[in-house]
Each structure stands twice: as C-alpha cells, then as structure tokens.
C-alpha cells in the first residue's frame, strides 16, 4: 500500500514530543524530499492540559490517547511519554492496530524489546528506538545497518549526561561529589531526585538496549549489575589522574564466547582512551568489532532538540518504507544468552586503602595479594595524614570473585586500616 503522505500521531507532548513536532515542521521540505512524500503531524495527545494547549498553539490537533490510537489516518505513532506504564500498553495497542511505532523511551524498550519485536513482526510493521540511547548520537541505526557485517565484541557507553557532567566537574575543578551534584541540579543537568541517573539505573536500560541490538542478546534489566557514582570521591579522581586515568560511568556490553557481560559501573579509563575526553553532558558510545576495529560515536546526549533528531531519523526510515510499500525495518530474533554474574568477570582493578605509614606495610600488602594469586601491576603510596598513608594499588586482570576474596583477607591484616574504594579499570 503506497501512500501520498505520511501522518504522525504523537503521544506525550513534553520536551521531546514537542521538539519532534517543531523540527518535523521546520525541516519539512527537506524531509519530504528524502521520504518522497510529505510527513505531517496529524494528532497529538498528552495528559497535561498545559502540553495540550502548547500543541494547539502550534496549530496541532490535540485529542485523547485513545483517539490517536484509533485514528485510521495515522501511519506512525511516536510514543514520547517515558516510563514503562502506560507506554507499554500504548505501544502494544499501536502495533496491534498495524501502526508503526517510534519511541525514545529507554525504560519501556529495555524491559519489553523482545515482546515488541515479536508483535511488530506479526503485524508486519516497524518499531524503532534510536532516541532511547545517546540522545542525538546515531548508534542503534549504525549497529543495525552500517556495522551489520561485524561481530561486535565490546561496547562502552557514556550514556548518562548527569553522571558524566558530575564526574567531569569533579575532575576539572577538584570539587567533591555532593558539590558537583548540587551544581548539576542548579544548571538543570540533574533532576530533583537524581537517583535514577546517579545510581546508574538510567545507564542500565541503555546497556540492555545496546546488548540487544549489537549482540542479539535477550537480557533482562534484573540481570544487569549496576553500581553508581556516589562513592567516587575527589581522592579517587585525583589519584586516578596521577597514574594517568580518568573515571567515567560506563554502560558495558561485552561478548565472551557464548556469554555476555552487561553491567554499569564507574571505570578508570586511560587518558588516551577515546572516551576519556568525552566530557560534560556529551554522550558517546565506543564499539569494538571485527572486521571494523574501534569506532566512536558521540553527540549531545539529552535535550529535546538533539533527541528529536534521532526520533525524526526513525520516522523518516519508517515513512520511506510505508511510502514505497517496502517491508518493515527488521530486527534479529533475540537469543537468550547467559549473562555473567559480576563475580565471574575478568577485569583490572584500582584499589584505594589506608594503612599506617611505616616501613614494611607496602611489602606486607603486596605479599597478601600475591598469596591470593592476585597479580599487582603497581602499588603507589600517596598522601599521609597523621600517621596514616593512602595507598593506591593497580591489579592485573583477575576474576572478580578472586579479587574480592583477596580483599576480604587484606581487610583483616593488622596493617590495613580501611579499604576505601575498589574501581574496575578498562583494558579495552
């Protein structure tokens, strides 16, 4: 069924939804040129009266969610509400009625992708979600299309602007976490309740989506190990810098034989790493694949305009297919892959601990690690306050549970006052 124009229904008319409408209109000539026929917003729905009146001010027809879903003239539903519910039911209803869906909702995609793909396949329609990871950064499309001939072995994503802003500020200005967080709130980079960002849950949704698209892995959010940045202190930032590293919160997806690692946690990256200079509210995704090698994608990670670029890119893809009568965008069937428990991963580690500043302490700690067959790359004694020295240790690749065993032994050494922090170190 070829069409003379493509009609969009937008559900959720907040920052992203209204940016999509505005930029579809602003670039309408260029978009019509690329699609072959005009693409227009036909109807808009939102629960908030303020959003609806904003839609009307833009000349748009504001109706109920049910009316958008049942409008036979609508070809593509843009779901821009955020959150799992009621977005999930809305997407399933839209797909069920044969409408293609574009969304930038990371939570609903991370939790329901497999079901959505199956429903879309049954109805022969498209579901796309480029805006769910990295804001304006093209990553889902490139993984699905341009890099489709590669076996992807590793993805590192800086996919949360709030935490990246905070860590960048801690690194640039020497401030502590709580002050950087306060500044981020003041500047609008952190929400009033920043837990989802700070504790890594937002990044975890994105890690699941990246693993799904790049590795066809059917991963549930519960399988993702998540650790946020609230325990990163200025001391860690400073000592990491001293030995040539920066600390970033990374979403990691890694393929190891027939298993995957999907995890979110702070990580030390060498200063020369291409993600190390991605600062502030930027997002970036670093991909290792064969035969391509290493690829970096980076752009503004948040904000209505930037994300609307991703949503509109998806709309154009689907609109072209509808206009030409082509088959829908296809997704591989997701396979259940074993997700490694965090204790089973192999990584390098940074350890910061405190011990009396007296001869033999470094040697004693080194020996204790060696006794546990944990191989040390470097031990550096840092500042001494009172009679207590801070010691920074870098550990070679080791199975995490073995490291943790060694650390629990080391905590019991009479010479060790406190193990202050343990942070994974990137080797890729």
Q: Interface residues with a copy of itself (CB under 8 A)?
A: 19, 23-24, 26-27, 30-31, 33-34, 36, 130, 136-138, 141-142, 145-151, 216, 274, 277, 284, 289-300, 303, 305-306, 308-310, 312-313, 315-317, 320-321, 324-327, 330, 332
CB proximity list for 59: less than 8 A, separation 6 or greater: none
Question: Considering beta carbons, is residue 239 or 331 the nearer one to a copy of itself?
Answer: 331
Least separation in angstroms between residue 35's CB and a copy of itself is 9
Task: Give whole-number Cα distances, 332 to 213, 258, 294, in Å.
Answer: 8, 17, 23
d(CA 400, CA 225): 13
Helix (H) or strand (E) holding 348: strand 346-356
CB 310 within 8 A of CB 164: no
Question: Which of 380-411 are b and which e, b meaning 16 or more Cβ less than 10 Å from the residue's Cβ?
Answer: eeeeeeeeebbbbbbbeebebeebeebbeebe
d(CA 334, CA 260): 13
DSSP β-ladder status, 76-79 and 100-103 = parallel
Question: Considering beta carbons, is residue 307 or 390 the nearer one to a copy of itself?
Answer: 307
Least separation in angstroms between residue 300's CB and a copy of itself is 5
DSSP β-ladder status, 39-45 and 6-11 = parallel
Least separation in angstroms between residue 79's CB and a copy of itself is 17
Question: Considering beta carbons, is residue 86 or 142 the nearer one to a copy of itself?
Answer: 142
Question: Considering beta carbons, is residue 29 or 192 the nearer one to a copy of itself?
Answer: 29
Least separation in angstroms between residue 261's CB and a copy of itself is 19
Name the catalytic one among 88, 106, 206, 317: 206
Question: Considering beta carbons, is residue 63 or 120 the nearer one to a copy of itself?
Answer: 120
CB 352 within 8 A of CB 239: yes
Question: Considering beta carbons, is residue 85 or 124 the nearer one to a copy of itself?
Answer: 124
Least separation in angstroms between residue 164's CB and a copy of itself is 14
Question: Considering beta carbons, is residue 305 or 357 the nearer one to a copy of itself?
Answer: 305
For residue 244, how many other CB atoms are within 10 A of its CB? 12
CB 219 within 8 A of CB 160: no
Least separation in angstroms between residue 248's CB and a copy of itself is 15
Q: Which two tokens stand for residue 62?
A: 């504001």
Least separation in angstroms between residue 275's CB and a copy of itself is 11
Q: Which two tokens stand for residue 231?
A: 């325990």
Give Cα 261 distance to the centre of its chain.
14
Is 123 a catalytic site residue?
no
Helices (H) and strands (E) in the chain, counts: 15, 17
d(CA 394, CA 248): 17
CB 338 within 8 A of CB 371: no
Annotated catalytic residues are 206
């Amino acid at each position: 069924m070829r069409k003379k124009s493509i009609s969009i229904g937008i559900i959720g008319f907040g920052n992203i939804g209204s940016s999509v409408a505005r930029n579809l209109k602003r670039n309408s000539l260029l978009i019509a040129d690329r699609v072959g026929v005009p693409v227009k917003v036909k109807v808009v729905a939102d629960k908030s009266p303020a959003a609806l009146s904003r839609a009307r001010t833009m000349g748009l027809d504001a109706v109920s969610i049910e009316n958008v879903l049942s409008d036979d003239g609508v070809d593509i539903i843009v779901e821009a509400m955020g959150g799992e519910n009621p977005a999930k039911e809305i997407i399933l209803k839209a797909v069920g009625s044969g409408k293609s869906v574009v969304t930038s909702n990371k939570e609903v995609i991370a939790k329901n992708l497999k079901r959505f793909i199956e429903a879309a396949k049954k109805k022969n329609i498209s579901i796309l979600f480029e805006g769910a990871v990295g804001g304006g950064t093209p990553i889902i499309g490139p993984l699905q299309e341009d890099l489709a001939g590669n076996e992807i072995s590793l993805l590192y994503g800086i996919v949360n602007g709030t935490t990246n802003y905070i860590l960048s500020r801690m690194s640039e200005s020497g401030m502590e976490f709580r002050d950087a967080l306060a500044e981020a709130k003041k500047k609008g980079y952190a929400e009033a309740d920043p837990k989802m960002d700070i504790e890594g849950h937002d990044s975890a949704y994105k890690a699941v989506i990246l693993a799904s698209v790049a590795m066809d892995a059917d991963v549930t959010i519960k399988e993702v190990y998540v650790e946020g940045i609230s325990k990163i202190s200025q001391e860690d930032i400073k000592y990491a810098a001293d030995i040539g590293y920066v600390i970033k919160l990374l979403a990691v997806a890694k393929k190891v034989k027939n298993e995957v690692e999907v995890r979110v946690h702070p990580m030390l990256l060498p200063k020369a790493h291409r993600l190390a200079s991605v600062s502030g509210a930027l997002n970036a995704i670093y991909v290792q694949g064969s035969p391509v090698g290493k690829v970096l994608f980076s752009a503004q990670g948040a904000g209505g305009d930037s994300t609307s670029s991703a949503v509109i890119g998806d709309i154009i893809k689907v609109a072209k297919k509808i206009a030409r009568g082509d088959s829908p965008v296809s997704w591989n069937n997701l396979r259940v892959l074993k997700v490694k428990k965090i204790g089973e991963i192999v990584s390098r580690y940074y350890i910061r601990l405190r011990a009396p500043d007296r001869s033999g302490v470094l040697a004693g700690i080194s020996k204790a690690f060696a006794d546990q067959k944990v191989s040390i790359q470097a031990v550096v004694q840092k500042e001494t306050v009172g009679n207590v020295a801070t010691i920074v240790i870098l550990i070679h690749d080791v199975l995490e549970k073995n490291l943790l065993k060694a650390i629990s032994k080391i905590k019991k050494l009479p010479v060790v006052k406190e193990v202050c922090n343990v942070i994974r170190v990137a080797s890729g």
